[in-house]
Amino acid sequence: MNKHFIHTGLTIAIAVSLWLSAPFFASAQTRDVTITIHLRGVYESKISVLAMSGSRTFKPVNEVPGIKNGETAKISVLKENLPGECVLRFDYKENESSTPYPSEKNIFINEQDLELWVSPKYCNNLDSSWFQKGEKENTTFVEFSMENAKKKEKLGLLQNFLMNYDDPESAFYRQGIKEYNERRNNYNDWLKSRKQQDKALFISNMYDFQYVPEIVLKGSESDRMQSMINHYFDGMDFQDPRIVKTSNINKWMDNYVNLYGQMATTVALRDSLFPAAGKNAIEKAKPGHPLVYGWMVDYFYKGYESNAIDAGMKALQPYLDDPNCLTTKRQEIERRLKGMETLVTGAKAPDISLKDFEGNLFELNRYETKCKYILLLFWSADCSHCVETVDKIYPWQRQLDVQQKIDIIAISLDETDTEVKAWDKKITGLTGWKHIRAAEGVRSKVASDYYVLATPVMILLDAKTREIVASPNTLNELMTAIK
């Protein structure tokens, strides 16, 4: 079995880096939420809701096509995706013959149903797009952001003045530091009070990212940098798992890594500094919530992996082995293992919608066959055990009496060019089977729906009802199941 979960990458540069992550989140949400959208200002639009965290980050959790100007769309967001930050995406046409053009609006969803009046061309303009009266999350966030910007601007001006003042030994400079620290403490106290005031809202978990840590204003540039690193995590509540549900944590950690990046003047120095950055950050998060701890490990894993920082990868191994560290991979495995318990005899098989080998749309629920059974065979042409299984099943199934009993849908989870070429070659000798391929492999929707962790996997269905009959592991078990 050769299929495993593949982590998405991110880029570390010498001075500037963009680090992304997508942790799975175990939601405590009690119900689904409905978003009602009143469309205007365009001819028509497809409307999608994209997750900003979880196993399907930046992918639609739901979408509705062909909503015309003046029409209303209702989109359901399942409770397992909530609470959280999402992207509302519009692929709109200005007129009937136009090519669809995208626009996006970040929104926050908690337990309240949302109603939104929107013109996709100006979806981030408050005069052109607005929520219903009494909407809480997004309205409060806008209000907080405006007030926060004003307060932080004044603090920033004072900090810049002190960082660039030419006489750090003067009484005037010492008085400036005192004033700055008083204002900084007042600002942080204001953040704390706002978080308490808005504690019932999901967006309140984002306030900690605005915290202004202590900084040594006197001394060398190196002293200041080290001071910022030492105090960077002072205001963060790592016990709150909601912080991994927003895009803010990525930006916040980007800034942290960039502090080290500014000191990394060579590749060799980078490869030394970034493992130190990861260890420091992970140790800070480790006593916190397991989801936050796991997110932090994921964050650095992706950076080290994509930039081949071997020292960093080695430093992560104790954390990856820690059962309390809920990394994306560990969470996904646990989710799928639990999900396998639902694929029992008599359960309805999830629908499948994929292009077949010839480019035609295959839909399991609409697939017609005269056979009594359908076998779903998840496999990879690059997996020796899969090929061995296929080579045993194929000649058996092609016997005339067996052909009349069972139809086989072979679902490839091959991803790389090498794997796909092997698949193309292999299926030329597997005529009579329906061949489809999930381009994203074990990360694909079909693999997720069927909780496939590794290949091969066989699921036998009743062809009429599409209910699960058996999950055989071998040809002998399959032969027994169809008798």
Which residues share a beta bridge with 101? 92
Same domain, 63 and 126: yes
Angstrom CA distances, 387 to 175, 411, 461, stand at 76, 13, 22
**Residues in the chain with pLDDT values less than 50:** 1-27
What residues contact 211, with CB distance under 8 A and at least 6 apart?
188, 191, 234, 235, 236
Q: Is residue 305 one of the residues assigned to a domain?
A: no
Q: Model confidence over 409-468: pLDDT tens digits?
A: 999 999 888 899 999 999 999 999 999 999 888 888 899 899 998 899 999 999 999 999
pLDDT at position 105 is 96
Please provide the size of the chain in residues.
483
Q: How far apart are CA 241 and CA 326, in angstroms?
A: 11
**151-166 pLDDT, tens digit each:** 999 899 998 888 888 8
Q: Are residues 360 and 444 in the same domain?
A: yes
Q: Are residues 353 and 477 in the same domain?
A: yes
Question: 186 and 67: one domain?
Answer: no
Q: Are 455 and 413 in contact (CB under 8 A)?
A: yes
Residue 405 and residue 449 share a domain? yes
In a domain? residue 392: yes
Question: What is the separation of C-alpha 430 from the centre of its chain, rounded to a whole number of angstroms?
Answer: 36
In a shared domain, residues 353 and 394: yes
In a domain, 288, yes or no: no
Domain membership of residue 186 as a residue range: 137-217+226-235
How would DSSP label each residue in 352-372?
Answer: -EEEBTTS-EEEGGG---SSS
- Residues 58 and 122 occupy one common structural domain: yes
Q: Determine, yes or no, domain membership for 333.
A: no
Residue 419's CATH number:
3.40.30.10
Residues 477 and 361 occupy one common structural domain = yes
Residues 81 and 170 in one domain: no
110 and 54 together in one domain: yes
Residue ending a domain, choose from 203, 235, 267: 235
147 & 128 share domain: no
Are 434 and 455 within one domain? yes
278: in domain? no
Q: Is 360 a domain residue?
A: yes
Cα 313 to chain centroid, rounded: 22
Q: What is the pTM of this model?
A: 0.73
Domain boundary residue, one of 107, 132, 157: 132
User: Residue 44 has what pLDDT?
Assistant: 96
d(CA 84, CA 104) in angstroms, rounded, equals: 16
Q: Specify if 2 maps to a domain.
A: no
Domain's final residue, options 81, 115, 132: 132
- In angstroms, how far is the first alpha carbon of the chain from the final one? 28
CATH number (domain holding residue 68): 2.60.40.180
The torsion angles phi and psi of 449, rounded to 5 degrees, stand at -65, -35
> Domain tally for the chain?
3
Query: Is 26 inside a domain boundary?
Result: no
